[in-house]
Structure formats: structure tokens, C-alpha cells
Amino acid sequence: MIYYANEQNREERLQWATEYQDWTVQDFKKVLFSDESLMCCEKQGIKWIRKIKSQPFTAQMINPIKKYKGGIQQMVWGLIEYQGGVSLEKITGTINSEKYVDILSGNLESIKKRNKLFQQDNARCHTSNISKQWMTSNKIRILEWPAASPDLSPIENVWGYLSLRLKIQLNSYCKI
């Protein structure tokens, strides 16, 4: 299945970029980045866009995201921060709001003691009433994030590294 960022997603990304354009490295050091990823034996890579600063972004610059099905795979949830702290949780099956809240609950002490903004994407399990109520009741401060924007989060680099390590470990099963 192939997904494209639609017009609304592109507008939200531009709005987000405009709002945070003056943030410094110091500001982003105060963010915990979280995400789920399906680790699998398939080469997926990051595509970078190079453009002149004055040149506007166009729909043709955005590459489709391919969703992987089949093969050797494992769903994980992770949390990273600038200082190098990492949490990684193995997820059995698919993730829903209840499972997401369970994962966060298991990491609550670690999240709260860091006293930072918490970044998550707009997956349904993150935006459900159950998850929002949990965040509010636990006083977790959220960094708003535009939908369909995995390339903005540094945790995507962790997923790329872990996928590569998985492919190396399982090289007898996978084509690298």
C-alpha cells in the first residue's frame, strides 16, 4: 500500500515548520521523541529533498511511503532524547490505545523524571480519547506534531539503524 501526504498534511507541515522555525538545538534538547516501528527485512531508505531556499515545496517532491507486509518482522516502541537516553519496548501484535497507554504507563517514571516535552506522531492510538486522558491525568506536556511527517523526527534514524542491524543479524533470511 502506498500513502502520500495530502494537501492538508502539507499545509500542517508548513504551519508547524513556520511555528518552530526559530527553535534552536537547545530547544529540541528538551524533547523526548517517541514512535512505533515495524522492524522488517526490507530495504526502505530515507529520501532527502534538496531545493533552493526561495523555491517552494511542491507535491512532486514528496515520495510515497510504502507499507511492508510479510517476512520477518517485529513491532517496537521507542523513546529517545538528546542526551542519549533510549527506551525500547517489544510490542506483540498490533498497537491500540489500551496497549499504547500500557507502554506509556510502564515508562511513566522515566518520562516524568526527564521533565521534557513529549513528541508523538498522530497515529490513532496517540490521538484517541483514552490516550489523551492518560496524558492529561499524568501531566505529560505534548509537542504538537504534524501528521504524515516521519522525516521530521530524529527517532527515524534509530529505526534505520535498528533495521540495518536486524538485516545483518538475519542475513541468511534476508536480501540486503
Q: pTM for the whole thing?
A: 0.75
What's the grid cell of residue 151?
Answer: 522525516
Which DSSP letter does residue 96 get? -
77 in Cβ contact with 36 (< 8 Å): yes
* DSSP category for residue 143: E
Is 135 in a helix, a strand, or coil? helix
CATH tag, 2-169: 3.30.420.10
State the Cα–Cα distance between residues 64 and 55, nearest whole angstrom. 21
* Each residue's pLDDT expressed in tens, for the chain with a length of 176 residues: 344 678 888 888 899 999 999 999 999 999 999 999 887 765 445 556 667 778 777 766 665 555 545 556 788 999 999 988 788 898 988 899 999 999 999 998 888 888 899 999 988 999 999 999 999 999 999 999 988 787 788 998 888 888 787 777 766 454 44
Annotate 33-71 with DSSP letters as a single string.
EEEEEEEESS----------TTSPP-GGGPPPEEPP-SS
